Amino acid sequence: MQTVTIPEYIRRVKLSEARRAKYYELGKKPPKAKKYHDKKKYEYREIKGFGKRRFLVDKETGDRVIANPRAAGTPNYIVINGQKIYNGEVSGPFRNKLMKAIKKEMSIYTDTLKPIKDFPVRINLEIHDVIQEDGSSYWDVDNRSWPYIKAFQDCLTGDRGNCKKIIEDDHCVYVTQPPVPLFIPVGNPKDRKLVFTITKEDDDRILKHKEFKEHLKKLKT
């Protein structure tokens, strides 16, 4: 059995140094602030370079009204959550950046593990964290854990040379159970941690299965 603990595991990733400004556009979500409904001061107008699209502008200056003044120009962070990946909210380059950040931190700890030659194995995961994220909302164990489970197995297999290789592969003959998460509550966010435990498979339904034994033997030779 081998156990690796990742203290204060990464919870958010910086996607960009500065968020782009957003503007109110005709036909899309209108501004809530009543002052922008004053037709003497504001109007929707076509802007050069944007074709027939019409944006809300200040009549006096001709400038477009920024819809996200507090966020524009500030770093863009995203909280790590598997649901944001599979529902398409985070995709493409941003998804890769998110996973790369998780694995970069995680590899510091997985690199301390000893290479495994005796297969198959199963993996368990304990997520030690507070009950409510940011002190206000409950969170789903499966949505929280998915990116870390994927990153951990990538790290174990070497992540294309970015980590120390602990196992040759993570297919079903070598890993019969990927990390199964269990939530353990703590009182302080700084006490959060991920604890991965790798143990030898002991289920005879697997180990004594004729075809499985043949595949395992072939892979060992």
Amino acid sitting at position 73? G
* pLDDT classification of 81: cutoffs 50, 70, 90: confident
In a domain? residue 41:
no
CATH number at residue 178: 3.30.1330.70
Q: Where in 47-192 does DSSP place strands (E)?
A: 54-58, 76-79, 121-129, 132-133, 137-138, 175-185
Q: 170-179 pLDDT, tens per residue?
A: 999 999 999 9
Annotate 45-72 with b (16+ C-beta within 10 A) or e (fewer).
eeeeeeeeebbbbeeeeeebbebeeeee
In a domain? residue 197:
yes
pTM over 0.75: yes
3-state helix, strand, coil in the chain (%, to 5): 30, 30, 40
In a domain? residue 60:
no
Task: Give me the number of domains the chain comprises.
Answer: 1
In a domain? residue 19:
no
Q: Which domain holds residue 86?
A: 2-13+79-220
Q: 39-70 pLDDT, tens per residue?
A: 999 999 999 999 999 999 999 898 999 898 88
